[in-house]
A and B are shown apart, each in its own frame.
Chain A
Amino acid sequence: MFKPVKIMDLPEEEMILPGTRLCPSCAPQLAYRFILKALGPKTIVTVPASCMTVVHGMQGATPVKVPVLNTTFETVAASASGIVASLKNLGKDKEVTVLAIAGDGGTVDIGIQGLSGAAERNTDMIYCCYDNEAYMNTGIQRSGSTPFGAITTTTPINGKLEHKKNMGMIMEAHGLSYIATACASYPQDLYAKFVKAKEMKGQGLRYIHVLAPCPPGWGFDNKLTIEIGRLAVKTGFWPMYEIIHGKMELSKESKRLVDPTKRKPLEEYLTPQRRFRKLNPSQLQEIKKYVNDTWETINKRVSC
């Protein structure tokens, strides 16, 4: 049974010092802050080319208090595999958590081969995809994780014509011990999931997919970061769940949304975002259908 964490239970120590180079109201950074609180100082992080490269600062200065190995865009899971192998070789694997954290492009597109390999090899690591739903660091190009209808710099007129990849299900097909979806707007839930992933050390790759709103990429006011993420969950667009050894359980915020009448109207999530400004009624209908279909699949699983 999933126990939410109280805000007062979170560790006070910040693992990321103030003054990083990310945009104001960046949700990936917010998520990363709570991820490192959950994993603690005995963590080695590896990051591919992404906004996470930016977090870790320029040569000669890093605001992050744990060791970090940068790597190329597509290789973060292999990089983590190498760290894990070396820790085993040095007899230090029991005491250290290895985290690979990549964006959606580095995970669902260019990095999926390495991730699939690391998962199949039961690599003792946590893999986090922070999903801001496009190539934000290179200037908002469409990715395999961009939702249907979203305007990006490479879908500038029609919006994206395809739905986003269902990465949770792709990872489940690998038979992982732990899969979770989370959202940067629910830091306590996020924190608890990373604590659980950490505690499941020795059980292969644990995968957590975090929806992380991006103010410049999605086109909303900086002050709305938390709100937009919560609306993604409350409208049912982003179901939050855990799959532990094959058993799916909905997280607290998503549980009641099994009942469609409990979901907020999808327009409340889409309208404040400029990336959805060109949605026509049939496209809106298509997204609604996508959300309903997603939930029907979930309902079948959680009800039996």
Chain B
Amino acid sequence: MPRVMLLKGNHAAAYACKSARVGVVAAYPITPQSPVVEKISEFVESGELPGTQFVKVESEQSAITAVIAASATGSRVFTASSANGLMYMFELLPWAAGTRLPIVLCIATRAVAAPWSVWTDHTDAFMTRDCGWITFFSENNQEIYDTVLMAYRVAEDPSVYLPAFSAYDGYILSHTQMPVQVEDIEVVDQFLPPLKHHINLTDFDNVKGVGPVTLPHPPDRHEFGHAPGYFEYKFAIQRSLERSLPEIKKVHKEFCEIFGRSYGNGIYKTYRMEDAEVAIFAVMSVASESRLAVDYLREQGVKAGLVSLKVFRPFPIEDLRKAFKNVSNVVVFDREIGYGYEGVLSYELKAALYKSSTQPDIKGYIVGLGGRDITYQQIAKGVKDALAMESVNENLIETDYIGLELDKLEFLKREGGY
């Protein structure tokens, strides 16, 4: 029987691994991710996850390497990390995608040092953008559990065979308890059948050399024809990412039919968008706070709505064009900075709507870095300020910052500001 449990976000991820019958886990401690793997070690040592191997590695780099190797050998694998730990994995992230391995990695988001901060922002998750992985976001703990299950289904689909991140806010979700329905494992088995691995190093009748040197041009293998060059491999990843979008929708629909829960169309979620004239565009913690901001704005007569992105990579251009079709303004709240430019969501949305038939004005804000609170009142004010700017229109290209407290810094006044 499905069971409703009071779970922290990290433990929801751990229970999802248990429901998915993950075979090999390798991880290294980092705040705020650690409780995910602490819980999994408990499952392994208590015998609740029979056969599952937990490799307690000496670094994140070894964690990701071990799950890459275990995945290539034929097991369903899992790892998790945050911020600097994720950065330490970085070299292996494109390696995992390039080897076409269906790994699921949970990111309990955390600001990237220096300076040190253990609190949330979305910089770490966004920095992995160009590694060839699918990136899912979650707004609550049930969604974390559900997304991990869906991520495996998508990643293991032969039309995809790519690794996937499942990101959620550190502390705000990772360490906060919410009721989570943990599903009956036999039902999960139907949704997520055992992995049939396309590499499977243990197949000694069909010996493979995995991840060898490629060439600038497709090499001629005579009677075997041409082998792909590096370029063709990269193109194949891009194609698979593009094709993962309909696959994600399909998997999400099936998930909804079996378990009765849905997250928009699986790609993005909306709130009060039906008659909205201005849309907030945000992810994770900022999106959930924006739901309150939408109600608050509506009370004040502003016809606001929310588009909360669930899948960041591949970037769902067509979906977003549809989502923002009927609004005149979009206000984007980024909990990270694309350094030297603006918030990443903001500029990516601008690019996605380029030459679309309806082009709303887009205003971007940077909010909540390093765990600074971002409240629905601040978000609502940001929306109203953006709408006021529209009449002048000139500030729309500039990024603004909500919640910066420069006025508290006495030394800045003495020195005349940054």
Contact = CB atoms under 8 A, between A and B. Distances in A.
Q: Are A and B interaction partners? A: yes
Interface of A: 41-42, 44, 46, 53-54, 56-62, 64-72, 74-75, 77-83, 85-92, 96, 113-114, 116-117, 120-121
Interface stretch (B68-76, B160-168, B288-296): B68-76
A89 B70 contact: yes
Given A66-B204, A86-B53, 17 more contacts: A41-B204, A53-B213, A57-B213, A59-B214, A59-B215, A59-B228, A70-B209, A75-B61, A75-B92, A81-B69, A82-B26, A85-B66, A86-B23, A89-B52, A90-B74, A96-B202, A114-B62
Contacts of B228: 59-60
B65 A79 contact: yes
Given A57-B209, A69-B211, A71-B68, A86 B61 contact: no
Interface stretch (B179-187, B219-227, B276-284, B399-407): B219-227
A57 B212 contact: yes
B24 interface: yes
B91 interface: yes
B374 interface: no
A187 B314 CA distance: 52
Contacts of B74: 86, 90
B58 interface: yes
A80 B53 CA distance: 14
A126 to B, nearest CB: 15
Nearest to B53: A85
A71 B51 contact: no
Contacts of B204: 41-42, 66-67
A86 B69 contact: yes
B202 A78 contact: no
B47 to A, nearest CB: 15
Interface in B208-264: 208-215, 219, 221, 224, 226-229
Contacts of A68: 208-210, 212
Interface residues of B, number: 49
Contacts of B24: 82, 85-86, 89
A121 B53 CA distance: 13
B219 A59 contact: yes
A15 to B, nearest CB: 10
B55 interface: yes
A262 B66 CA distance: 47
B55 A46 contact: no
25 contacts: A57-B213, A59-B213, A59-B215, A61-B221, A64-B209, A67-B207, A67-B208, A71-B211, A75-B92, A78-B57, A78-B65, A82-B24, A82-B65, A85-B55, A85-B75, A86-B69, A89-B51, A89-B70, A90-B74, A91-B51, A113-B62, A114-B62, A117-B58, A117-B59, A120-B58
Nearest to A87: B73
A89 B213 contact: no
- Chain A interface SS verdict (over half): mixed
List the 7 closest A-B pairs by CB distance, nearest first. Answer: A60-B227, A82-B69, A117-B58, A78-B62, A82-B66, A86-B73, A62-B209
B66 A81 contact: yes
B66 A71 contact: no
Contacts of A56: 209, 212
B14 interface: no
A65 B208 CA distance: 9
A291 to B, nearest CB: 34
B53 A60 contact: no
A44 B213 contact: no
Contact of A44 (B95, B202, B227): B202
B304 interface: no
Contacts of A72: 65, 91-92, 95
B57 A89 contact: no
A80 B51 contact: no
Contacts of B210: 67-70
Contacts of B66: 78-79, 81-82, 85
A75 B60 CA distance: 11
B233 to A, nearest CB: 8
Q: Which residue of A66, A89, A116 has the most chain B CB atoms within 10 A of its CB atom?
A: A89
Contacts of B91: 72
A83 B70 contact: yes
Contacts of A61: 219, 221, 224, 227
A66 B208 CA distance: 7
